[in-house]
Structure 1
Amino acid sequence: MRILFLISSLIIFSCFSAFCQDKNTISGYVKDASSGELLIGAVVQVKDTQLSTATNSYGYFSMDVLENDIDIIASFVGYKPFFVKVNVSNKKRLAIELEPLDNMLEEVVVSGKKRNNNVTDAQMGALNFTMEEVKNVPVLFGERDILKTIQMLPGVAKGGEGSSNFYVRGGGGDQNLILLDEATVYNASHLMGFFSTFNSDAIKDVALYKGGIPAQYGGRASSVLDIRMLDGNNKKFAAEGGLGLIASRLKLEGPIVKDKSSFMISGRRTYADLFLKLSNDEKVKKSKLYFYDLNAKANYRFNDKNTLYVSGYFGKDDLGYGDLFSFDWGNATATARWNHVFSEKLFSNTTLIYSDFTYNVNVSSDDTKFKIASKIENFNLKQDFSYYRNNSNTFRFGIQGLRQKISPASLDAADNSSFNSIDIEKRYGIEAAAYASHEWKPADWLSLIYGLRITDFMVQGPGTFYDFDDDGDVIGAEEYGGSIVKHHLNLEPRLSMSFILNPKNSIKLSYNRIVQNLHQLTNTTSSLPTDQFVLSSINIKPQYADQVAVGYFRNFADNAYELSLESYYKYMGNQIDFRNGADLQANKYLEGELVFGQGRSYGLELLLRKTQGRFNGWISYTLGKSERQFDLINDGKWFNARQDRTHDVSVVAMYELTKKWSLGANFVYYTGNAITYPSGKYSVNGNTMFYYTERNGYRMPDYHRLDISATYEPKPAHKRFHSSWSFGLYNVYNRKNAYIIDFRENENNANITEAYRIALFGAIPSVTWNFKF
């Protein structure tokens, strides 16, 4: 309540302060002159003054100026600065186009923002990247992957060897909100996690929020990963792609109506399944092992005030062995967005979104024939406003309505099968939300971002809702029609502050509460396509997380080096886990198998980054602890979360050796995941049974690995055609990192149980030919 009172007081005072001023205002968009692509985070500044601003997620900016005749400078990383004289009384809206540099250094920087923005901005726990900025980071199979790159940032833990899954500041994997053009992506991995769903050729900008999460985001308790697709080239037709050992990709883009509309379509597919056709085994020939994904986007600019965007994504994995077994899963998203400029100060974004995730399992043998299918989908309507009152005051506010439907894993068995069919009821929910936030700079030494989000999650019928006793047994049931069964109303305050000691030093503070009504049930550290989703209900309360953080930020050597040191504490309420011995698959009483408790995580994060010159990269270190407590697990004592890691280190280095050759390397080390091992064994009727004591009381072996890469980009033989070769070696010294630790009886003495390690990857070379024209 004290935090709510503080935020309310700030809103009243700052609104009064903001509306007591009146100045000239200029606004507009900043674009790439060669493609017409809107640039996110480009800096627009009045020459010889401290007046500056940055473009928002849609390339739009607004800024108040004191004089009528001014000189404007616009800049963005990798582009030539743009200078223009403006008479504000004659021209209030600008269309700025920046020319790309001919020889652009590959820098890893916060894209396009002021060089000391990491010090002066109130936002903390956030990083922005473009795909160009991470192109030389070595990754598995040579495929550029933004999810593998963010795993090398402080506070972000890896899901395991080769996995795209990640954990932020001790939270669960399901507590990360992953957005693609504002649409939710439920499962962000291909091939059981070894590739992510995000084709790098189709991505423009990536923003990761670990703390101080802005009020416009909600629904996940730990982090937000906001990914924006390219709009498409509205100047000329272009193509880009690559041929690799595992997968190939192709992107096409061009104008529909030059300078007014454009399209972009990008596809990727693996072809391991083609080699299966060479087998002499008929079952192997009929087997399937591939994934594909498709990104598409189009836009149309009606005039300076109205632009319509339509985008979509579809991806699918297909695995199978002959006619005996098949398993496929995939995501689909669609976004329709209308940007409208009411005035130089008021910007509107209206968005209609659809997302879904499905999986299907088919098993067919002589006496076993069944199918398991599951689906989760949502429809989402958002209305967002940005009001740029003046250079010191920006207001953001909006509303959102989301309808969620889950079709749990049901089992459909054939009549002659040894299984019986099980049909699980669908579950429905409606989430309504409203938010308001204010970015305020009351003094040169102080910046604030604060706001409030209000959510009402409505559990909706039709369906039968069960009551359970303490042992998880059904003690009652009530059937509902399409009415609202229960409301979960929550307030989510947000606050970030930056105390600027000088242009090179600052101290930042943040607090946020986030509520989560969609829960993913898993018992592994790698998110699987078959993991189940449940909504908040009569028995399941919304998860929530309260996080406080403090950080020190400093730049060195004319902003060439950036240092940040952040400490955080996160309390997590209404956490979910399984009872011991829970029955999880096709269980209509699944809620009775769940237990509820609490969690906490705390840690220290260090990031040292070099952002300029031929040699650049970063060093990341996280010291952390993540724990859970449930009355019915581990005798009610606190225990390590599965993703708990004491130490996590990443070193990333990139070097431009010559104009043709660029080198990259990264080294990762982290403490092994917490895991539950048997403490003993006993025999029952001749069968060996293992005895377990403390939950997650043991550790996997420590993990470490070195990767290297080299990129060769010869001088183009033709000015329109460019190509390059990328070479990589994953796990250079062939470390056999443990993927699974299992137990077996000693061959010579059945009374001795021995542990053995299963490793997934050794050293893996890769080569890819990339082209662009």
Structure 2
Amino acid sequence: MRHCAVVILICLITIPAFAQSKYTLSGYVKDSLSGESLIGATIAVNGQGKSITSNQYGFYSITLPEGDYNIFVSFAGYQPVQMALTLNRNIAFNFPLLQQGMLESVVVSSRRRDGNVQNAQMGKIDLSMNQVKAVPVLLGEVDLLKTLQLMPGVRNAGEGNTGLYVRGGGPDQNLILLDDAIVYNTGHLFGFFSIFNADAIKNISLIKGGMPAQYGGRLSSVLDIAMKEGNMKKLEVEGGIGAIASRLSIQGPIKKDKASFIISARRTYIDLLIKPFIGKSNAFYGSGYYFYDVNMKVNYKFSEKDRLYLSGYFGRDVFDFRNSRRSFNARIPWGNSTATLRWNHVFNRKLFANTTLVYNDYAFSFGAAQNDFSIKLSSGIRDLNGKVDIDFYPAPRHKLRFGGLYTYHRFTPNILSGNQGSTVFEPNNESKKYALESGIYIQDDWELSEKIKVHMGLRYTGFTQVGPYKIFQRDADGNKLDSTVYGRGSAVKTYGGLEPRFTIRYALNDATSLKAAVTRNNQYIHLVSNAGSTLPTDLWVPSTYRVKPQQSWLYAAGIFKNFKDNTYETSLELYYKSMDNQIEYQEGYTPSLKDPEETFTFGKGWSYGTELFVNKTKGKLTGWVGYTLSWTWRKFAGLNEGERYPAKYDRRHDMSVVAMYEFNEKWKISGVFVYGTGNATTLPERFYVIGGVLTQEYSKVNQYRLDAYHRADISATLTPRKKPGQRWEQNWVFSIYNVYSRLNPYFIYFDQEGSPYDGSLKVEARQVSLFPIIPAVTWNFKF
């Protein structure tokens, strides 16, 4: 019945309202110099009030009545173009766009940049890599996640951390995709730097409200990141040498205008810098830490209708600890591996299909050895995924997308093995779990009139925990009595549900619109953390017979208005989000080797707030101001005596100011100021001495606040002028992180002095701060 309904819907909206002849203009929008496809470019028809955006592969299609038209094409960071045409037949045309500042002789139109007002989508943030690279960052390492944290509704996990907390949601509630592959851990150096190498990234889109039906499996947001495809025209080499890491990227044609490649690598050299200062007599000689990552992509265009992409990412953090005096060694590697194979096929001018196969793996390992004793602890998650997405352009005012996916999950939470001499400890595999996840969806961008545009979709998802698996029955003391055994592939527990999505835009005039959205989401996998930020030791666990899927409803409304010919973009959004089946560890939790599910407690959460955004897009001075006023609550029967409490990442006030100024062709400066209410935290309120041992009595959950967080950063970029005929390009980036050296709180601990036996015991709270003022220099090159 569901398939019949889809067919009927397609048939109804393709019935022409008039007998007038209609023709289709279709093709791709590309970078004119590299041949890279441009995602989300706007193709608008002058005088018709009609526009469409290019899809994730730069493809567009628009059907119009026979006649004469002016077509305007625009994309952020590129010079817009205008083309006059007579549409009396189907036309295939690829629009080449030129980056701003490349040539002054190009004839451009005055097409307004008003997608934030005209599109029905709410809560969407598109960032160009030029914006990301202009923002000053810690130790000069360009970081797209830290740039997103400067947007309203998006906050960080703490000092220097790349974790994203979107509209009251946790870090596991963000669907983070790199070329369609899910990324489960986004941080290097325990979360202080993201795994995304800016030199390898082409496009960044964050959707924090009104999530389209094509995305699912998370409650809060979608971060869709596309890697560069490789220059189709010429060989390019670029890179940089920074304070703690260096980068190198090579891209170019395998066969000009037919196939291309890109390889991008990055590695830190913290271990190499400190090695000369640790002598061989030092107990820690040979210890060290480093991370590296590699992005690779190749693509081949078989014809104008078929194109194949193969991309991958591999990254690792490696921490070694060696103590020669105690004969103790430890090695802790963790990281992500992904591989994506995609096939684009254009069936006709109105039908575009993409078929994707994805492999992704996140693994954490801890290995230690002392004398003849060794131990190893492993955890992680591995997926195999296949999906099909189809774009269908049936009529001038409709853009349909529909498709489906199927994923096989393998979860490995805490598998322990080891040996003592000749005695071998066998792994305890009881906690290893398997699951199947599936989904189908249909969505439609429908322009009802010049004033009303809707985006509506429906998604159905299913999730089944499968064997091999054992469910143990236990006595009151937790001892195993009996078990139920499920064979390989046998269903243990199944969940599923419908997820409606609806967004509407009402245009008050060309520069002002009102929008509202409601979305339902189910989330079947969960990150359970005992810390305030995402660490490699955090566990990904599936929904099981014991753990129910998370569910949410999000309601949002806002007004969007542009001023001075779209020089200033402004928006004011309100939202309310409810979240069921939230997961935390039980009160008094301590790590153990039993199944983590046995230590969970379940509750609910809700968040609400308002977000103000003012963005200046033109002129020598550009930048934005973002402000969020919000509340985030949690309530668990097994925590805080069943009373509600603010979530750790609840932040009443959150403000970011970002400014970029171009003095001339040589010098550009940028600055950032951030302010946020301090994190909620739980602290001891009373101390007792019992039997000579200092005992603490803690407050209610998150009853206290750390001091407010604020910081200012600045950077200046020097780009030497190129000599005539010179291919070599370079620039120097000078940055200062935390200009006035604000000692922001990272956490509070209590120090004790004296003795409880003579009454001299003193307990004093002390604050730990991480980063004072930090200058950095980075040299970037390209040829």
- The residue that corresponds to 1:77 in the other structure is 76
What letter is aligned with 2:227?
Answer: M
SS in 2 for 1:591: helix
SS in 1 for 2:348: coil
- The residue that corresponds to 2:177 in the other structure is 179
Post-superposition offset of 1:40: 1.2
Post-superposition offset of 1:286: 1.3
Q: How does 1:131-210 map to 2 (within 5 A)?
A: 131-210=129-208
- The residue that corresponds to 1:542 in the other structure is 549
Q: How many residues align?
A: 760
Choose which of 563, 567, 572 in structure 2 pairs with 1:565.
572
Cα-to-partner distance string for 1:551-585 (whole Å, 9 max, x where unaligned): 11111111111111111111000011111122434
Change in Cα spacing, 1:629 to 1:77, as seen in structure 2 (3 Å) is closer
* Partners of 2:49 and 2:450 within 8 A in 1: no
Post-superposition offset of 1:266: 0.4
Change in Cα spacing, 1:472 to 1:705, as seen in structure 2 (3 Å) is farther
Cα-to-partner distance string for 1:652-709 (whole Å, 9 max, x where unaligned): 1110112210000001111111111112122333211211231111111111101000
- Matches of 2:586 and 2:561 in 1, distance apart? 47
Change in Cα spacing, 1:660 to 1:294, as seen in structure 2 (3 Å) is same
Change in Cα spacing, 1:488 to 1:654, as seen in structure 2 (3 Å) is same
SS in 2 for 1:309: strand
- The residue that corresponds to 2:441 in the other structure is 435
In the alignment, does 2:68 pair up with 1:61?
no
* Partners of 2:208 and 2:220 within 8 A in 1: yes
Choose which of 412, 420, 435 in structure 2 pairs with 1:415.
420
- The residue that corresponds to 1:720 in the other structure is 727
Q: Relative to structure 2, which stretch is displaced further, 177-186 or 323-332?
A: 323-332
- Unaligned 5+ segments in structure 1 are 106-111
- Matches of 1:649 and 1:26 in 2, distance apart? 44
- The residue that corresponds to 1:256 in the other structure is 254
- The residue that corresponds to 2:93 in the other structure is 94
Post-superposition offset of 1:96: 2.2
SS in 2 for 1:134: helix
What letter is aligned with 2:305?
Answer: K
- The residue that corresponds to 1:117 in the other structure is 115
- Matches of 1:399 and 1:204 in 2, distance apart? 26
* Partners of 2:404 and 2:441 within 8 A in 1: yes
In the alignment, does 2:614 pair up with 1:608?
yes
- The residue that corresponds to 2:300 in the other structure is 300
- Matches of 1:341 and 1:447 in 2, distance apart? 27
- Matches of 2:582 and 2:126 in 1, distance apart? 30
Change in Cα spacing, 1:11 to 1:169, as seen in structure 2 (3 Å) is farther
SS in 1 for 2:317: strand
SS in 2 for 1:132: helix
- The residue that corresponds to 1:223 in the other structure is 221
Change in Cα spacing, 1:82 to 1:651, as seen in structure 2 (3 Å) is closer
Q: How does 1:361-760 map to 2 (within 5 A)?
A: 361-366=366-371, 369-416=374-421, 423-425=428-430, 426-466=432-472, 477-482=483-488, 483-587=490-594, 589-717=595-723, 718-747=725-754, 750-760=760-770
Cα-to-partner distance string for 1:246-269 (whole Å, 9 max, x where unaligned): 110011000011101100110000
Cα-to-partner distance string for 1:215-259 (whole Å, 9 max, x where unaligned): 010111111100000010011101111011111001100001110
Change in Cα spacing, 1:15 to 1:36, as seen in structure 2 (3 Å) is same
What letter is aligned with 1:26?
Answer: L
What letter is aligned with 1:324?
Answer: N
SS in 2 for 1:370: strand
Cα-to-partner distance string for 1:357-389 (whole Å, 9 max, x where unaligned): 011112222475311112211011010111112
- Matches of 1:478 and 1:36 in 2, distance apart? 58
Change in Cα spacing, 1:421 to 1:759, as seen in structure 2 (3 Å) is farther
Change in Cα spacing, 1:469 to 1:537, as seen in structure 2 (3 Å) is farther
| TM-score, structure 1 normalization | 0.94
Post-superposition offset of 1:390: 2.3
SS in 2 for 1:274: helix
Root-mean-square deviation over aligned CA pairs: 2.4
Percent sequence identity is: 44
Q: Relative to structure 2, which stretch is displaced further, 742-751 or 129-138?
A: 742-751
* Partners of 2:751 and 2:765 within 8 A in 1: yes
Q: How does 1:194-343 map to 2 (within 5 A)?
A: 194-278=192-276, 279-281=278-280, 283-322=283-322, 324-343=329-348
Post-superposition offset of 1:92: 2.0
Post-superposition offset of 1:12: 7.6
- Matches of 1:689 and 1:368 in 2, distance apart? 34
SS in 2 for 1:273: helix
Cα-to-partner distance string for 1:613-659 (whole Å, 9 max, x where unaligned): 10011111111111111111111111111111111111111101122
- Matches of 1:681 and 1:133 in 2, distance apart? 50
What letter is aligned with 2:684?
Answer: P
- Matches of 1:468 and 1:263 in 2, distance apart? 56
Post-superposition offset of 1:760: 0.6
Cα-to-partner distance string for 1:99-156 (whole Å, 9 max, x where unaligned): 3344589xxxxxx995111112110011111211222111111111110000011111
SS in 2 for 1:665: strand
- Matches of 1:557 and 1:113 in 2, distance apart? 13
Change in Cα spacing, 1:746 to 1:311, as seen in structure 2 (3 Å) is same
Change in Cα spacing, 1:170 to 1:472, as seen in structure 2 (3 Å) is farther
Change in Cα spacing, 1:207 to 1:104, as seen in structure 2 (3 Å) is farther
Post-superposition offset of 1:11: 11
Q: Relative to structure 2, which stretch is displaced further, 320-329 or 703-712?
A: 320-329
- Unaligned 5+ segments in structure 2 are 105-109, 323-327
* Partners of 2:506 and 2:513 within 8 A in 1: yes
- Matches of 2:765 and 2:616 in 1, distance apart? 43
- Matches of 2:609 and 2:77 in 1, distance apart? 35
- Matches of 2:733 and 2:230 in 1, distance apart? 25
* Partners of 2:72 and 2:111 within 8 A in 1: no
SS in 2 for 1:414: strand
